[in-house]
């Protein structure tokens, strides 16, 4: 048995950021991770062939690079080996008609491409970009602040003071709008609308879901304004750097340590019991980087003592699932729409708002989509160090998919468990990619497929392959993430806290929930 000031359940980037801050504040920290590899959904491994490094889940590290944690600890992270690979050509979409559109951090390039579709849209883009710094100040303040009535009031006051009533209402309207509403109000080209709408599908915002407009807006504007960054050598550069800070400050990280129970005495969290039977005590805090259902249903065997809290945790809603396909390639895809697409970090294959809406509805109904949304990542176009010289990796995220299969929209795959159908469905995905990039299969040297169930096996937080760890719809966001009354990372049990993507401010690599909780516990 060991005694710590704070014990962390799980070694994702949020818990590691929290542990790093507290360790640097002099806390004795212990991080216990069930897997042999730390990082949660932020991992980089050789899934296909030796020398080919694939990001398991997260690939884009822009949120981390721009985070409050990175601003405070940039020197310490760099000393532990953190290194970014900047991206100039950020994201693009290819279309069945042979055209494409992409956003680069060069405004003239992006506006010129946009003008080929619509001169009016190019003018709108310039106007939005010019207004973005003022708008971003308020949105980033909201997303980077604890979710409390006081913080909301402060943000609202600042917004009203700087923008007036009408401007404040416009920002509020953006936060409540669906992607389709915002896109149709601002852009006339269906190609431009589809390109920007795909960012909503990175979460669980199909085009007509209220509250989803802010994600295509922020991602598009930020990519144009700041560019994007990947991790040099892999996304796990942030994990290795965070772990280095924890251990160099005297913290302990234990892998292969499955926490079976959070121990509670007198309404106060006192430590953890591992599946091996080992127990460890915490004098100040236990921080669980798990899903709400796992907290209430597994780690607290008799519940929290608050029936309302326990029910809210059990009712936490997850987003549709994801499949990941990792390919080792002899060369990058030959995009039919143009060789310039080979330079982009992401190429989206989601040709219309209607296709995105149909895919989402099919997944929600338990049906394998006939044409899923595909996010094709080309990290070695930016960072060649991830593969042997002259070779490449392809990162394919398949959105949206059901966790349990009730049918197939194409009526070609027999009803079965994911273990039986994942390779056949991966073939469907490659068929789609080859309509845009002919003969891709001839370039494949190795392939690894992770179904939604495989992803959950890798990381229990990815329930049913939900890579964003819980729906971000309005009823489960802001003051309601993960539940009303508990958006401040606390629980009914004293000294027990919840962190991670299931908590405010949600998914992404910004480590915001872990860092804000750490500041709340240990000071700034």
Distance of alpha carbon 433 from alpha carbon 96, whole angstroms: 11
Closest CA to 297 of 345, 261, 266, 268: 261
> Under 8 Å CB-to-CB from 461, ≥6 apart: which residues?
10, 12, 40, 41, 289, 290, 291, 294, 469, 500, 501, 502
- Given a contact cutoff of 8 angstroms between Cβ atoms, the answer to whether 391 and 379 are in contact is no
Residue 90 lies in a domain: no
User: Do 212 and 272 sit in the same domain of this protein?
Assistant: no
In the predicted model, is pLDDT for residue 247 greater than 90? yes
Residues 170-199 pLDDT 10s: 899 999 999 999 999 999 999 999 999 999
In the predicted model, is pLDDT for residue 44 greater than 90? yes
CA-angle at 258, arms to 255 and 260, nearest 5° = 155
User: Do 269 and 347 sit in the same domain of this protein?
Assistant: no
Enclosing H/E stretch for 24: helix 13-24
Report the mean per-residue pLDDT for the chain. 97
In this structure, what token pair is assigned to residue 182?
Answer: 């915002």
Domain that holds residue 166: 106-226
Residue 417 lies in a domain: yes
Residue range 42-55: mean pLDDT, rounded:
98
User: Do 73 and 113 sit in the same domain of this protein?
Assistant: no
In the predicted model, is pLDDT for residue 412 greater than 90? yes
User: Do 446 and 339 sit in the same domain of this protein?
Assistant: yes
46 pairs with which residues across the strands? none
pLDDT band at residue 401, thresholds of 50, 70 and 90? very high
* Centroid of chain to Cα 278: 33
User: Do 444 and 479 sit in the same domain of this protein?
Assistant: no
Has this prediction a pTM greater than 0.95?
yes
Residue 329's pLDDT is what?
A: 98
> Under 8 Å CB-to-CB from 62, ≥6 apart: which residues?
222, 223, 226, 227, 228, 229, 509
User: Do 324 and 384 sit in the same domain of this protein?
Assistant: yes
CATH code of the domain covering residue 64: 3.50.50.60
Q: Which of 226, 249, 276 is the last residue of a domain?
A: 226
Residue 383's pLDDT is what?
A: 98
User: Do 354 and 426 sit in the same domain of this protein?
Assistant: yes
Residues 431-440 pLDDT 10s: 999 999 999 9
Residue 101 lies in a domain: no
Residues 49-108 pLDDT 10s: 999 999 999 999 999 999 999 999 999 999 999 999 999 999 999 999 999 999 999 999
Distance of alpha carbon 154 from alpha carbon 463, whole angstroms: 35
Residue 95 lies in a domain: no
398 pairs with which residues across the strands? 323, 374
Task: Tell whether omega for the bond before 313 is within 30 degrees of 0, i.e. cis.
Answer: no
Distance of alpha carbon 520 from alpha carbon 517, whole angstroms: 5
Residue 92 lies in a domain: no
Residue 399's pLDDT is what?
A: 97
User: Do 251 and 173 sit in the same domain of this protein?
Assistant: no
Residue 430 lies in a domain: yes
Residue 151's pLDDT is what?
A: 79
Distance of alpha carbon 115 from alpha carbon 117, whole angstroms: 5
- Given a contact cutoff of 8 angstroms between Cβ atoms, the answer to whether 19 and 29 are in contact is yes
| 199 phi, psi to nearest 5 deg | -65, -30
pLDDT band at residue 410, thresholds of 50, 70 and 90? very high
> Under 8 Å CB-to-CB from 177, ≥6 apart: which residues?
210, 211, 212, 213, 214
User: Do 329 and 259 sit in the same domain of this protein?
Assistant: no
Residue 420's pLDDT is what?
A: 98
How many domains in the chain? 3
Q: Which of 196, 226, 256 is the last residue of a domain?
A: 226
Residues 120-175 pLDDT 10s: 999 999 999 999 999 998 899 899 999 988 877 888 888 888 888 888 888 999 99
Helix/strand/coil for 98:
coil
Residue 93 lies in a domain: no
Residues 438-491 pLDDT 10s: 999 999 999 999 999 999 999 999 999 999 999 999 999 999 999 999 999 999
Closest CA to 363 of 494, 215, 484, 466: 466
User: Do 244 and 193 sit in the same domain of this protein?
Assistant: no
Residue range 494-500: mean pLDDT, rounded:
98
Q: Which of 206, 226, 246 is the last residue of a domain?
A: 226
In the predicted model, is pLDDT for residue 387 greater than 90? yes
Residues 252-305 pLDDT 10s: 999 999 999 999 999 999 999 999 999 999 999 999 999 999 999 999 999 999
User: Do 499 and 449 sit in the same domain of this protein?
Assistant: no
Residue 407 lies in a domain: yes
Residue 83, by phi and psi: left (phi above 0), alpha (psi -120 to 50) or beta? beta
User: Do 445 and 383 sit in the same domain of this protein?
Assistant: yes
- Given a contact cutoff of 8 angstroms between Cβ atoms, the answer to whether 309 and 293 are in contact is no
Poorest-pLDDT segment among 165-169, 378-382, 416-420, 505-509: 165-169
Distance of alpha carbon 280 from alpha carbon 272, whole angstroms: 5
């Amino acid at each position: 048995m060991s005694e710590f000031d704070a014990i962390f359940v799980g070694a994702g980037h949020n818990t590691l950021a929290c542990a790093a801050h507290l360790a640097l504040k002099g806390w004795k920290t212990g991080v216990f991770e069930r897997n042999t590899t730390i990082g949660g959904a932020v991992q980089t491994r050789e899934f296909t062939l030796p020398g080919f490094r694939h990001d398991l889940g997260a690939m884009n590290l822009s949120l981390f690079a721009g985070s409050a944690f990175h601003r405070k600890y940039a020197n310490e992270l760099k000393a532990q080996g953190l290194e970014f690979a900047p991206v100039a050509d950020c994201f693009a979409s290819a279309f069945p008609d042979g055209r494409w559109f992409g956003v680069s951090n060069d405004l003239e390039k992006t506006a010129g491409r946009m003008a080929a579709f619509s001169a009016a849209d190019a003018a709108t883009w310039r106007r939005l970009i010019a207004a973005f710094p003022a708008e971003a100040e308020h949105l980033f303040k909201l997303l980077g602040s604890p979710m409390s009535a006081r913080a909301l009031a402060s943000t609202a006051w600042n917004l009203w003071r700087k923008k007036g009533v009408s401007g404040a209402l416009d920002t509020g309207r953006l936060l409540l709008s669906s992607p389709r509403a915002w896109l149709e109000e601002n852009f006339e080209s269906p190609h431009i609308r589809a390109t920007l709408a795909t960012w909503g599908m990175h979460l669980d915002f199909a085009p007509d879901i209220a509250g989803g407009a802010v994600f295509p807006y922020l991602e598009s504007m930020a990519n144009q304004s700041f560019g994007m960054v990947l991790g040099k050598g892999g996304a796990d550069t942030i994990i290795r750097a965070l772990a280095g800070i924890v251990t160099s400050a005297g913290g302990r990280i234990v892998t292969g340590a499955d926490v079976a129970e959070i121990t509670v005495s007198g309404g106060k969290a006192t430590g953890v019991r591992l599946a091996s039977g080992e127990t460890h005590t915490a004098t100040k805090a236990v921080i669980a980087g798990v899903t709400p259902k796992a907290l209430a249903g597994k780690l607290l065997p008799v519940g929290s003592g608050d029936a309302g809290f326990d029910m809210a945790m059990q009712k936490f809603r997850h987003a549709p699932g994801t499949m990941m396909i990792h390919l080792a390639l002899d060369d990058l895809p030959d995009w039919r729409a143009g060789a310039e697409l080979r330079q982009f970090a992401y190429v989206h294959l989601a040709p219309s708002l209607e296709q995105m809406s149909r895919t989402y509805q099919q997944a929600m109904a338990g049906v394998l989509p006939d044409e899923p949304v595909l996010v094709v990542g080309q990290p070695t176009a930016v960072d060649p160090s991830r593969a042997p010289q002259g070779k490449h990796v392809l990162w394919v995220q398949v959105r949206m998919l059901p966790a349990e299969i009730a049918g197939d929209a194409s009526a070609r795959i027999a009803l079965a468990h994911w273990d039986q159908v994942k390779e056949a469905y991966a073939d469907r995905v490659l068929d789609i990619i080859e309509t845009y990039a002919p003969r891709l299969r001839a370039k494949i040297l190795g392939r690894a497929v992770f179904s939604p169930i495989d992803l959950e096996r890798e990381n229990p937080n990815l329930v049913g392959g939900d890579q964003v760890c819980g729906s971000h719809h309005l009823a489960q966001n802001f003051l309601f993430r993960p539940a009303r009354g508990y958006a401040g990372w606390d629980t009914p049990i004293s000294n027990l806290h919840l962190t991670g993507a299931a908590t405010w401010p949600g998914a992404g690599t910004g480590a915001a929930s872990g860092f804000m909780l750490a500041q709340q516990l240990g000071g700034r």
